[in-house]
Amino acid sequence: MDRKKILVANRGEIAIRIIRAIQELGHTAVAVYETPDNDALHIRIADEAVWLGDGPRADYLNIDKMIKAAKKARVDAIHPGYGFLAENPGFAKACEDAGIIFIGPSAEVIQSLGDKVTARRIMEGAGIPMVPGTQNLSPGEAGIEEAKEFADKYGYPVMLKATAGGGGRGIRRVENEEQLIRDIPMARSEAGAAFTNDNVYLEKVVLNPKHVEVQIIADTSGNTVHLGTRDCSIQRRNQKLVEIAPARIQDQGLLDRICAAAVKASQAAQYTNAGTVEFLVDKDMNFYFMEINTRVQVEHTVTEMVTGIDIVRTQLKLALGKELAFKQEDVQIRGHAIEMRINAEDPQNNFMPEAGKTVTVYRSPGGYGVRLDGFVYQGYTIPDSYDSLLVKLTVHGFSWNETVDRLRRCLKNFVITGPKTTIPFYLNIVNDDDFQAGDFNTSYLETHPYLIDYEQICTEGNKLARLIAEIHHKHENPYAV
C-alpha cells in the first residue's frame, strides 16, 4: 500500500486515537492545533503538526483554515473525528472540492441526516418506527406558536432539539409552556454558536427510555454491516457518561430487530463509512428511531472491544477505496465492554468543569482487558477552552460480572490529582445494585441521587504532605505554636 498523508481535524483523545490508526496502517499523520493546545499530546504523537490560529475553538471550527492547513501539508485525506467539523456537510463538501478524501459519509448524506427533520422523513419512508416530532420551527413568533401547538397535542414534557446538533448537545427538555417560550430563543442562540445553524425542532418525550444505538459500517459497494448494540442510557443532561456493549437487554430477538432496523435505516440513507443509528427503547420494549450520527462516536471503543474490529482503521481503509473485509456473519460479539468517560469535573458541584487546573499526579490502571484512550499527562494543565474529557476507560470481560469487577478495580487504581474528576462518582455507580443488575435507563442518575455522595479520597501520605507543605510555607507548624 502506498504511503498516504492524512490530516486529523481534531484534538484531544480522538485525535490521538485516529493518529494511532493512521500510523498503524503505515501512513503519515498530520495534527492541527490552536494556541491553547501548544502542549497537547496529539501534536507530539503525530508525524507533523500544523498550527491553525489562536482559537480557542474558532479555528478548529474554521473550514477555510482547515482546508488551508491540509493543502499546506499536502494531505490525501482528512479524518474529522467527532465534534467540531465532523458533522458539518460544508466541511465534507469543501474537502471534496479541494480534492481531499473526507473520511466519512458523503456531504449529501451528512446534510440530509444532519438535518434531523430530513432524516425523519427518510426514515419514515423506510418504515422505521419514529417518535412524533415537528418540522424545523419557523423563525420568530411563528415558530413558538408551532411549538405550542405540538406540545399541546402530545403533552409536556417535550424535547427541544437543534436540527444540526448531536452527541447530546443542543438538546433541552421542556416541562411547560412558559419554559418553552423562554428556551426556544436560547436554544437557537446556542445552536447558532455551536453548529452555525440555528434551526430547532420539537419531539415528544419518551419517558425514561433506554438509549440503545447500533454501530454501522458500510462500503461504497453496497455492503452494510452492523457491529451490534451499545447501551448509552446513563447520561447526565443528555451527555453520555457510561457506555456498554452489547446493550443490557435480555430479549435477544429485540436486539436483532433493532440491528436489522439500523441496517435498513442506513441503507435507506445510502450511508457509507462508519455511523451510528440511535434508538430509544421504552419500558414496553418498543423502539423508536432517534437519529443517525455520521461520525465515529466517543463510545466506539466498547464495540471494538467486543467485536475485535478496529473501527477507525476500517474507516481509513474504506475511505481509501477498500471494500469491507468482513461480512455480517463474521461479526461475533464476545463478552461485555464498559466505557466510562473520566472528566475533569466536580460531580458534587453540579459537574462544574475543573478547567485551569494542573494534573499533578496521573497514574493509570492497566492489565488484562483494560484500554485507555486519553491525552492527559502529569503536569498537563487543562485548558478552559475545550471540553472536560480527560481519558476514556474501557474494560472488557468475558461475563458482565467480570467486566464490572474489572471496572471497579481500574477506578480504584486510577490516580488523578489536581483537578477533581468523575472517578469517585463512577465508583459509586459501579457499586450500585441497580447498575450491577443492568437495571438502568436514562432516568438513572435522577432516580439514584445518592450516587453523588462520596468522600474525597485522600491518602495518608498526601494528608501528611499537605501539613508539611503548610509548615514549609508558613515557616513553622501553624498548629503547634
Partner 1 sequence: MERIVQGMSIDEVLRILRSADGYYITNTARDLSQSDFKNRILLHTDLLAAKPREAAGFFSLEITGGASVHVDILRKQVDPFLKLELLREKMPHTMFQTLCRGVNLFGYRPYPQNVIRLTVREFAKYVDVWRVFDFMNHIPNMQAVFEEVQRAGKILEPSICFSTGPEHTDEFYVQKVGEILDVTGENILLCIKNHGGLGTPKRIGELVDAIKQRYPELVIHYHGHNTDGNDIGRITAAVLNGATIVDASDHAFTGYYGPPPILTVIQTLNEYDKKAVGVDEEAIIETSEVLRHEREHYEYFESQFKGFSPTVQIHKLPGGAMGSSFEQAVKGDFLDRMPEILHDELPKAQVELGNWWSVTPGSQILWTTAVSNVLDDDRYGNPSGDLKNLLLGKYGPFPFYQPEDWIYEKVFGPEWKDILAKDGGIDEIEDIDVEKERKNLAERLGYEPTEQQLVTYLQHPNDAVNFFEFEDKFGKVYVLPPSILIRRGGFKLGETLTFRDHYGKEHIIEVGPEQKSDNGDTNVYLNVDHHQRVFVFQAEAQQAGAAQAVQLSKEEIEELAQVGDVRAPFAANVCEVSVDDGQEVDVGDQLLILEAMKMQTPVNSQVAGKVVKISTKIGQAVKPGDKLVKVEAG
| Active-site residue set | 295
Q: Among the candidate windows 95-103, 302-310, 357-365, 442-450, which touches partner 1 by CB under 8 A? A: 357-365
- Residue that is written with C-alpha cell 453496497 in the block: 222
Contacts of 145 by beta carbon, 8 Å cutoff, 6+ apart:
none
Q: Among the candidate windows 44-52, 207-215, 319-327, 473-481, which touches partner 1 by CB under 8 A? A: 473-481
Burial class of residue 480 in the structure, from the number of CB atoms within 10 Å of its CB (0-12 exposed, 13-18 middle, 19+ buried): exposed
User: Is 469 near partner 1 (CB under 8 A)?
Assistant: yes
Bridge partner residues of 393 (DSSP)? 340, 372
User: Is 405 near partner 1 (CB under 8 A)?
Assistant: no
Burial class of residue 452 in the structure, from the number of CB atoms within 10 Å of its CB (0-12 exposed, 13-18 middle, 19+ buried): middle
Residue 419 CB, shortest distance to partner 1, in Å, is: 12
Contacts of 447 by beta carbon, 8 Å cutoff, 6+ apart:
none
Binding mask 187-206 for partner 1 (x = CB under 8 A): --xx---x------------
User: Is 481 near partner 1 (CB under 8 A)?
Assistant: yes
CA distance 101 to 215: 22
Q: Among the candidate windows 41-49, 252-260, 380-388, 424-432, which touches partner 1 by CB under 8 A? A: 380-388
Question: Could you give the count of Cα atoms lying within 13 Å of 74 in the half-sphere of its Cβ?
Answer: 2
Among 221, 332, 378, 401, binds partner 1 (CB under 8 A): 378
- Residue that is written with C-alpha cell 437543534 in the block: 162
Strands 415-417 and 345-346: unpaired
Number of residues in contact with partner 1 under rule CB under 8 A = 43
User: Is 363 near partner 1 (CB under 8 A)?
Assistant: yes
User: Is 463 near partner 1 (CB under 8 A)?
Assistant: yes
Helix (H) or strand (E) holding 291: strand 287-293
DSSP string, 412-461: HH-EEESS--SHHHHHHHHT-HHHHTT---TTHHHH-GGGG--PPP--HH
Q: Among the candidate windows 14-22, 281-289, 350-358, 404-412, which touches partner 1 by CB under 8 A? A: 350-358
Nearer to partner 1 among residue 176 and residue 358 (C-beta): 358
Binding mask 409-428 for partner 1 (x = CB under 8 A): --------xx----------
User: Is 349 near partner 1 (CB under 8 A)?
Assistant: yes
User: Is 186 near partner 1 (CB under 8 A)?
Assistant: yes
Binding stretches for partner 1 (CB under 8 A): 169, 182, 186, 189-190, 194, 349, 352-353, 355-356, 358, 360-361, 363, 378-379, 384, 386-388, 417-418, 460-473, 475-477, 479-481
